[in-house]
């Protein structure tokens, strides 16, 4: 058995409280926890493995953010095209027809929200459907 040497370390109050809490929770001596932390810090292989793990995780997160950005760009572009078409094709209503049109609009909106809720609950994604239609050569066909 190797002879251990004494080391005096000064910790701020918060760090000491955290160390004491961990020692109590793990039923371990504070010195053994400190020793394990120092070994972990000084061991280059562990640091390299940790860095590689963090790098892999960051790469996955980057790819995920890229997909979200692409999907968001697709959604914004689709919404912008729809709004442009709607604004271009929808004539203004005469004053007497506004109340009926607003009531019909509310009814259609509620129907839209119900349909959207059902699709989201089923996990259906329009982008996935469009991608499949495009790949099968049915792009532009409304089903």
pLDDT of residue 142: 52
Taking the CA atoms of 38, 42, 46 and 52 in sequence, report the sign of the dihedral they define: positive
Q: Note whether 20 and 12 are within 8 A (CB).
A: no
Domain ranges of the chain: 13-42, 94-143
Lowest mean pLDDT among 13-17, 26-30, 93-97, 139-143: 139-143
Tell me the pTM.
Answer: 0.43
pLDDT category at 125 given cuts 50, 70, 90 is: confident
Mean pLDDT of the 60-64 span = 94
What is the spatial distance between Cα 130 and Cα 114, in angstroms, rounded to a whole number?
21
What is the spatial distance between Cα 86 and Cα 79, in angstroms, rounded to a whole number?
10
Mean pLDDT of the 7-25 span = 93
Mean pLDDT of the 34-44 span = 80
pLDDT at 143 over 50: no
């Amino acid at each position: 058995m190797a002879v251990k040497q004494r080391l005096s370390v000064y910790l701020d109050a918060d760090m000491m409280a955290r160390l004491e809490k961990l020692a109590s929770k793990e039923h371990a001596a504070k010195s053994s926890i400190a020793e394990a932390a120092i070994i972990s810090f000084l061991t280059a292989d562990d640091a390299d493995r940790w860095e590689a793990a963090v790098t892999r995780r960051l790469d996955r997160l980057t790819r995920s953010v890229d997909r979200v950005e692409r999907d968001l760009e697709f959604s914004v572009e689709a919404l912008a095209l729809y709004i442009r078409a709607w604004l271009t094709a929808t004539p203004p209503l005469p004053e007497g027809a506004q109340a009926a049109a607003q009531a019909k609009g509310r009814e259609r909106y509620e129907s839209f929200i119900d349909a959207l809720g059902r699709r989201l609950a089923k996990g259906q994604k329009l982008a996935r459907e469009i991608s499949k239609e495009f790949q099968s050569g049915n792009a532009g066909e409304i089903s």
